[in-house]
């Protein structure tokens, strides 16, 4: 009876549910017995015909008092014992547990893996392997609760707390904030995906595609930092002002002054939100993002907000797209980024076709002749020379059309690595 | 025992003096009780209406008519008003004040002037609480400059949105509407004084003013319950006073106590808060136990079963209640502390169970009539079984990990607070209505409102247990997109419908009692229910000084049995 607990997705869930259901059965039994006895007495000893009958002066019974003191005491001690034993299991950390750092902040969750991969509002763990969440809060108290895993722990500013469990089923689960933390407490959710070890490895190593469109990168920052919790894109008012048609509009502040929402205003509002509060909005709600959003990300966010002027559709980002720090990329990835950002693609194809200059496909190691005579082998030195002094030696069949690029040595090495990868 | 009916025909405490001034300056415990009754009823409806606002918002998924901030304001108002302004003073201030001197055969409480002072301290606290709930900066008739001064300098930027627990460091933020927290905590501090003074007054009254022959072993169970409550009030309330004062120090002077950015510890706040707020649960519910212990013997024509155990259990609960506070914090305290507090918490269950067994056994071989007070008392046993058994889940460490801060907890404490304290108060108001007003209430209408209250209450809170089982966290403005969304929606809608029926029930019950108070034709006899305790041995309503001559007690209060062969 009353078996309503959600799916058991962690190793210890079955134990918790067992003691839970034992309490349920005992509770139902005792409630039925006691309320049943009360109703039976009420019916059997009811006053008849409006006249009281004589009643005995029963003042108590030592035997009964002892029974109904001792029996509940024993039952309580048994339940308390199992509650404590299972709690001990819930809290015990396996020495092989993978640690994920969790940061709670009004009103989103951030996750950081051992290899530096970071996610927001979503985390992935491998099935059948113990995991430990090491949690901290950047502002007020939060609490991390995954119903299907039967775990919950408060997340406290100024200290670390932890949660540990071993998932036993793959699937999608939810995590909630369960310590009241203000306006968007109800929206402070996170998604948990439990996947196979192989899927997990692929996921955790994948540090994302390179995105060249600044507005698109800005859209990712908007999502990753949880801006969407308070700032809408469709003109509706949530907690803070909408981003729709924000850029270039005139803002009126609580003190009556006005300003146009330009780049300077937007940067200030993000890094130092309480300095300029728009009329009818409350100060103190928006976290200070100084140190959280980098300067280059700031430019991306501004680029994104600029696109929201209603003249074009809202930039959509796919679920797996993630903004990454160039330092954590491979040389090929950085080379690809340089290739795209410097518009190399305009002249050098990747598929062997001839555009303006030679294709990059299979370029590395290629041998050929120059217009002015002589042969070359496309090695590191040749590629470097071709970029820095582009018109010195022109390959046969091409015009001297390429501008000289002042790349640094590291950048040239990255581009070379990228060219090497295009076979 | 009584001769007063013939003695002072026509005059009583209600009509012996006239005019509003005679009420405002009265030292009569019975008049002070009525003043509390009307004031507390007002706050019960303020708290109740804000609960309806919250339930209406939750009727369907998505935003209905509130913003998240307003939703948070309303559940805070509901919690603060219900806890600090209604239930904590609740039965002790109303029924305790009215009954305690009458039940022990005294003319008044030990310090009548202090009793009136307690009432006015309560009013000051209540006004401070109301001030912190006013959205000053939206009032049209206040100039911008003055409103800024009120919000920024006087800390009046309500309404507060911290929940009734004022958890640090959320409550310590100085910006926004949280600035009004200082007024709210100040209000709770002042209300605490009212509670301490009332408690002291009752303790001295029970010790010093018992009528000749009214030995400790002859005291009615309601007196024992009120006495135990008074001890908790006097010992626990200073702690919350201290912690709220520390919050004020931290906010005003920046002393680092709870705020981690100042080197403080937010968990320390939780400890201090619950060190008071857990025993306060028993301040709310012990007097209700006392009420039930009076009603069941009278309508069963039987002595209370196991008198010594019933009174002893009251003290057991009061004592254990002091050492279980950290069970509100299982998800934030260390593991060893959690083991100890979990184990201790189970020992609250034992004396509570003992009481329930004794109440039911009192009905055995009785002559039971089903007047409204008896119906409420029997429903109390049922509701408190649910309240008590669901408490077992929360005491069980491994299970509380799941239920902490979900709707299961919300449902559990509403079964104790509303199913226990409020139902106890309503039962008491019906039972002692003839004594307090000198009129009889209408049984049929009262039973009708009883049915409404029962249906409404259970319809509101039974679905919330299931919400909790599905992991639904409390204090959520919206539940769109949560796991088991369809079921959550159905349960929330049901709960809201229940809340409206429940509210209608209370409203009609109040109208019913008020109507018969003012317009009732049937004059109440001195002792309409043939009770043996002292308050029924004087006229209804009693004269100004309760008894025409000091009663002399020769017997135990519960000699209802007459049959020789038990």
Residues 405-434 of B with CB under 8 A from A: 405-406
Q: How far, in Å, CA of B57 to CA of B59, rounded?
A: 6
Express each pLDDT in B75-111 by its tens digit. Answer: 999 999 999 999 999 899 999 999 999 999 999 999 9
Nearest by CB to residue A183, choosing from B68, B361, B365, is B68
Map tokens 């299979």 to a residue: A362
Is residue A275 within 8 angstroms of chain B, CB to CB? Answer: no
In chain B the first and final C-alpha atoms are separated, in Å, by: 27
For residue A279, the model assigns a pLDDT of 84
Do residue A180 and residue B163 have CB atoms under 8 angstroms apart?
yes
What one-character-per-residue DSSP string does B380-411 give? Answer: HHHHHHHHHHHHHHHHSHHHHHHHTTBHHHHH
Specify the DSSP class assigned to residue B13: T
What's the pLDDT score for residue B315? 93
**Which tokens belong to A23?**
């309490």
Alpha helices in A94-240 (DSSP H): 197-205, 214-224
User: Is residue A47 within 8 Å of B368, Cβ to Cβ?
Assistant: yes
Entry field: residues in chain A: 423
Using a 10 angstrom Cβ sphere, with 0-12 exposed, 13-18 middle and 19 or more buried, the burial of residue A377 is exposed
What does the pLDDT read at residue B564? 64
CB B157 within 8 A of CB B139: no
pLDDT of residue B510: 93
Alpha-carbon span A379 to A398, nearest angstrom: 19
Partners of B70 on chain A (C-beta within 8 Å) are: none
How confident is the model over B424-482, as pLDDT tens digits?
999 999 999 999 999 999 999 999 999 999 999 999 999 999 999 999 999 999 998 89
The span from the CA of B344 to the CA of A251, in Å, is 58
**CB distance from B397 to chain A under 8 Å?**
yes
pLDDT of B5 over the 50 cut:
no
Which residues, at least 6 apart from B231, have a Cβ–Cβ distance to it below 8 Å?
A: B199, B203, B318
pTM tops 0.95: no
Tell me the CA distances in angstroms from A409 to A325, A334, A385, A387, B109, one per residue in order: 20, 13, 11, 11, 93
Q: Report pLDDT for B184.
A: 82
A28: nearest CA partner in chain B: B389
CA-to-CA distance for A276 and A258, rounded, in angstroms? 10
Mutation site, B256, B316, B399, B405, interface A, largest A CB count within 10 A = B399
- Considering A123-132, A351-360, B249-258, B268-277, the range whose residues carry the highest mean pLDDT is A123-132
Query: In this model, does residue B157 exceed pLDDT 80?
Result: no
Question: Please, what are the averages of pLDDT over each run of 10 residues along chain A (423 residues)?
Answer: 91 96 96 97 94 91 95 96 96 95 92 88 95 94 97 95 96 96 91 94 80 83 81 84 89 85 89 82 75 80 88 71 63 81 77 80 86 85 85 81 80 88 82
pLDDT value of position A397: 80
In the structure, what pLDDT confidence band is assigned to residue B9 with cuts at 50, 70 and 90? low
Pairing of strands A367-369, A375-377: antiparallel
Return the bridge partners of A260, or none: A250
Cβ of B332 and A38 within 8 Å?
A: no
> Under an 8 A CB cutoff, do B381 and A34 touch?
yes
A287–B contact, CB cutoff 8 A: no
By mean pLDDT, which of B25-34, B97-106, B255-264 is the weakest?
Answer: B255-264
B465: Cα separation from own chain's centroid: 22
pLDDT of B7 over the 70 cut = no
Q: What are B536-560's pLDDT values in tens digits?
A: 999 999 999 999 999 999 989 899 9
Interface contact A91-B483, CB threshold 8 A: no
Q: Quick one: DSSP state of residue A404? A: P
List the single best residue of B471, B486, B555 to mutate versus A (max A Cβ within 10 A).
Answer: B471
CB-CB under 8 Å, A4 with B389: no
Closest CA to A296 of A222, A218, A408: A218
Question: Is-contact A57 B562, C-beta < 8 A?
Answer: yes
pLDDT at B335 over 50: yes
- Chain B residues closer than 8 Å to A150 by CB: 398, 401-402
Q: Is residue A371 within 8 Å of A396, Cβ to Cβ?
A: yes
Q: How far apart are CA A26 and CA B353, in angstroms?
A: 13
Asked if B400 and B391 touch (Cβ cutoff 8 Å), the reply is no
- Cα distances (angstroms) measured from residue A310 to each of A49, A74, A315, B359: 81, 70, 11, 71
Q: Do B51 and B499 meet the contact criterion of CB atoms below 8 Å apart?
A: yes
Position B259 pLDDT exceeds 60: yes
Distances B458 to B375, B418, B423, B472 between C-alpha atoms, Å: 15, 11, 12, 19
| pLDDT of B349 | 92
Contact check, Cβ <8 Å, A45/B363: yes
CB-CB neighbors (< 8 A) of B72 in chain A: 180, 182-183, 185
A-B CB pairs within 8 A amount to 298
Question: What is the rounded distance in angstroms from the CA atom of residue B162 to the CA atom of residue B139?
Answer: 22
A31–chain B nearest CA distance, Å:
6
Q: Which residue has the higher pLDDT, B202 or A213?
A: B202
- Show residues of chain B in contact with A23, CB under 8 Å: 389, 392-393, 396, 399
Min Cα distance B179 → chain A (Å) is 11
Measured CA angle at A13 (ends A11, A17), to 5 deg: 150
Confidence bin at B8 (pLDDT 50/70/90): very low
pLDDT category of residue B146 using cuts at 50, 70 and 90 = confident
> What is the share, in percent, of chain B residues with pLDDT greater than 90?
75
CB atoms under 10 Å from CB of B19, counted, come to 8
- CA-to-CA distance for A102 and A119, rounded, in angstroms? 10
B303 touches chain A (CB under 8 A): yes
| A174 and B CB contact within 8 Å | yes
The nearest CA of chain B is from the CA of A153 a distance in Å of 5
Which is higher by pLDDT, A388 or B320? B320
Q: At what angle do helices B279-300 and B407-416 cross, to 10 degrees?
A: 50
**Range with lowest mean pLDDT among B171-175, B221-225, B542-546:** B171-175
- The region of weakest confidence among A160-169, B201-210, B239-248 is B239-248
Residue of B nearest to A52 (CA): B367
Yes or no, beta carbons of B479 and A186 under 8 Å apart: yes
Q: Residue B25: helix, strand or coil by DSSP?
A: coil
Query: How many Å lie between the alpha carbon of B270 and the closest alpha carbon of chain A?
Result: 11
**Segment B290-318, tens digit of pLDDT:** 999 999 999 999 999 999 999 999 999 99
Residues of A with CB below 8 A from B138's CB? Answer: none
Q: Assess contact for A127 and A170: CB atoms under 8 A.
A: yes
B477 touches chain A (CB under 8 A): yes
Q: CB neighbours of A202 closer than 8 A, spacing ≥ 6?
A: none
Which chain A positions have a beta carbon within 8 Å of B73's beta carbon? none
Look up residue B227 and give its two tokens.
Answer: 């006495």
Instruction: Please state, in angstroms and rounded to a whole number, the distance separating the CA atoms of residues A366 and A89.
Output: 63
Does the distance separating the beta carbons of A83 and B399 come in below 8 Å?
yes
Q: Which of B105, B119, B103 is nearest to B34 (CA)?
A: B119
Whether B367 sits inside 8 A of A55 (CB atoms) is yes
**Nearest CB to A6; choose among B161, B349, B484:** B484
d(CA B372, CA B453) in angstroms, rounded, equals: 12
Is it the case that residue B333 has pLDDT exceeding 90?
yes
The ipTM, to two decimals, is: 0.92
- The interface residues of chain B toward chain A in range 209-268, judged by CB-CB distance below 8 A, are 260-261, 265-267
Of A6, A173, A186, the CB nearest to B68: A186
Which A residues in the span 132-161 are in contact with B, Cβ-Cβ below 8 Å?
Answer: 139-141, 143, 145, 147-148, 150-154, 156-159, 161
Contact A178 B404 (CB under 8 A): yes
Mean pLDDT of B279-292: 93
**Closest Cα in chain A, distance from residue B379 (Å):** 9
Residue B134 pLDDT class (50, 70, 90 cuts)? confident
How far is it, in rounded angstroms, from Cα B23 to Cα B31? 7
User: pLDDT tens digits, residue range B507-529?
Assistant: 999 999 999 999 998 899 999 99
Which of A195, A216, A45 minimizes the C-alpha distance to A128? A195
Cβ contact B539:B16 at 8 Å: no
Please, is A402 exposed, middle or buried when counting C-beta atoms within 10 Å of its C-beta (0-12, 13-18, 19+)?
Answer: middle
User: How high is the pLDDT of residue A422?
Assistant: 83
pLDDT value of residue B4? 42
Which candidate from A55, A60, A153 shows the least CB-CB separation from B309?
A60
């Amino acid at each position: 009876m009353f078996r309503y607990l959600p799916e058991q997705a962690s190793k210890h869930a079955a134990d918790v549910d067992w003691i839970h259901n034992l309490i349920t059965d005992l509770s139902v039994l005792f409630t039925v017995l006691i309320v049943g006895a009360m109703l039976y007495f009420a019916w059997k000893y009811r006053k008849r015909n409006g006249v009281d009958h004589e009643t005995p002066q029963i003042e108590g019974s030592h035997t009964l008092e002892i029974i109904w003191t001792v029996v509940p005491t024993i039952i309580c001690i048994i339940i308390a014992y199992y509650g404590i034993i299972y709690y001990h299991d819930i809290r015990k950390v396996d020495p092989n547990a993978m640690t994920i750092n969790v940061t709670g902040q009004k009103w989103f969750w951030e996750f950081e893996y051992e290899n530096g991969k970071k996610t927001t509002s979503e985390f992935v763990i491998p099935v059948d392997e113990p995991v430990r969440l090491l949690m901290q809060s950047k502002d007020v108290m939060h609490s991390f609760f995954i119903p299907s895993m039967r775990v919950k722990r408060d997340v406290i500013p100024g200290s670390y707390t932890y949660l540990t469990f071993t998932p036993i089923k793959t699937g999608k689960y939810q995590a909630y904030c369960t310590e009241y933390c203000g306006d968007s407490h109800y929206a402070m959710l996170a998604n948990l995906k439990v996947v196979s070890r192989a899927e997990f490895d692929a996921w955790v190593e994948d540090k994302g595609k390179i995105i060249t469109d600044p507005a698109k990168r800005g859209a990712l920052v908007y999502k990753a930092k949880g801006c969407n919790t308070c700032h809408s894109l469709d003109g509706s008012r949530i907690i803070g002002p909408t981003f729709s048609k924000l850029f270039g509009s005139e803002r009126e502040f609580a003190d009556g002054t006005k300003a146009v929402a330009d780049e300077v205003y937007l940067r200030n509002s993000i890094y130092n939100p309480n300095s300029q509060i728009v009329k009818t909005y409350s100060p103190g709600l928006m976290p200070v993002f100084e140190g959280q959003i980098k300067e280059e990300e700031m430019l991306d966010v501004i680029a994104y907000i600029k696109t929201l002027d209603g003249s074009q559709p809202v930039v959509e980002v796919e679920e797996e797209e993630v903004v990454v720090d160039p330092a954590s990329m491979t040389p090929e990835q950085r080379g690809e980024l340089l290739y795209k950002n410097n518009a190399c693609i305009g002249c050098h194809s990747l598929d062997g076709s001839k555009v303006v200059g030679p294709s990059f496909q299979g370029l590395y190691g290629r041998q050929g002749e120059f217009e002015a005579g002589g042969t070359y082998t496309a090695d590191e030195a040749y590629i470097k020379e071709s970029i820095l002094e582009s018109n010195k030696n022109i390959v046969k069949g091409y015009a001297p059309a390429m501008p000289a690029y002042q790349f640094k040595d590291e950048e040239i090495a990255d581009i070379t690595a990228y060219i090497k990868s295009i076979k | 025992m009584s001769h007063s009916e013939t003695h002072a025909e026509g005059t009583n405490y209600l009509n012996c003096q006239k005019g509003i001034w005679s009420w405002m300056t009265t030292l009569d415990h019975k008049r002070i009780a009525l003043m509390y009754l009307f004031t507390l009823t007002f706050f019960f409806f303020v708290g109740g209406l804000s609960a309806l606002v919250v339930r209406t918002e939750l009727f369907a998924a998505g935003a209905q008519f509130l913003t998240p901030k307003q939703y948070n304001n309303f559940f805070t108002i509901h919690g603060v008003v219900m806890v600090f302004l209604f239930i904590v003073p609740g039965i002790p201030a109303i029924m305790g004040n009215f009954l305690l001197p009458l039940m022990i055969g005294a003319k008044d409480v030990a310090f009548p002037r202090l009793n009136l002072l307690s009432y006015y301290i309560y009013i000051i606290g209540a006004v401070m609480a109301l001030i912190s709930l006013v959205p000053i900066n939206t009032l049209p008739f206040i100039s911008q400059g003055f409103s800024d001064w009120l919000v920024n300098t006087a800390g009046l930027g309500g309404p507060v949105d911290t929940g009734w627990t004022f958890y640090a460091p959320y409550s310590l933020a100085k910006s926004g509407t949280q600035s009004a927290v200082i007024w709210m905590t100040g209000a709770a501090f002042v209300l605490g004084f009212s509670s301490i003074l009332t408690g002291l007054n009752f303790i001295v009254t029970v010790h010093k003013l018992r009528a000749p022959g009214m030995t400790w072993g002859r005291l009615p169970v309601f007196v024992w319950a009120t006495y135990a409550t008074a001890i908790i009030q006097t010992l626990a309330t200073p702690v919350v006073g201290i912690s709220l004062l520390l919050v004020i120090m931290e906010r005003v002077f920046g002393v680092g106590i709870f705020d981690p950015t100042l080197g403080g510890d937010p968990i320390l706040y939780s400890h201090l808060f619950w060190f008071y707020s857990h025993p306060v649960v028993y301040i709310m519910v012990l007097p209700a136990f006392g009420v039930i212990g009076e009603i069941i013997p009278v309508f069963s024509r039987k002595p209370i079963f196991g008198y010594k155990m019933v009174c002893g259990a009251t003290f057991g609960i009061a004592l254990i209640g002091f050492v279980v506070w950290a069970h509100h914090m299982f998800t934030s305290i260390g593991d060893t502390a959690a083991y100890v507090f979990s184990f201790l918490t189970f020992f609250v269950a034992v004396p509570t169970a003992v009481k329930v067994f004794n109440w039911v056994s009192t009905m055995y071989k009785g002559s039971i009539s089903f007047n409204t007070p008896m119906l409420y008392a029997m429903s109390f046993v049922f509701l408190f079984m649910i309240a008590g058994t669901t408490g077992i889940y929360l005491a069980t460490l491994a299970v509380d990990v799941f239920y902490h801060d979900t709707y299961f907890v919300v449902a559990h404490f509403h079964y104790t607070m509303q199913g226990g304290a409020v139902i106890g108060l309503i039962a008491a108001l019906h039972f002692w209505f003839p004594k307090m007003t000198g009129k009889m209430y209408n049984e049929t209408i009262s039973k009708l409102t009883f049915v409404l209250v029962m249906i409404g209450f259970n319809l509101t809170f039974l679905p919330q247990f299931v919400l909790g089982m599905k992991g639904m966290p409390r204090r959520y403005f919206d539940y769109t997109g949560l796991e088991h969304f369809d079921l959550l929606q159905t349960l929330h809608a049901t709960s809201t419908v229940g809340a409206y029926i429940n509210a209608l029930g209370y409203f009609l019950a109040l109208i019913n009692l008020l109507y018969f108070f003012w317009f009732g034709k049937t004059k109440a006899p001195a002792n309409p229910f043939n009770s043996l305790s002292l308050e029924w041995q004087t006229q209804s309503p009693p004269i100004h000084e309760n008894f025409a001559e000091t009663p002399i007690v020769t017997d135990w209060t519960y000699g209802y049995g007459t049959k020789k062969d038990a």
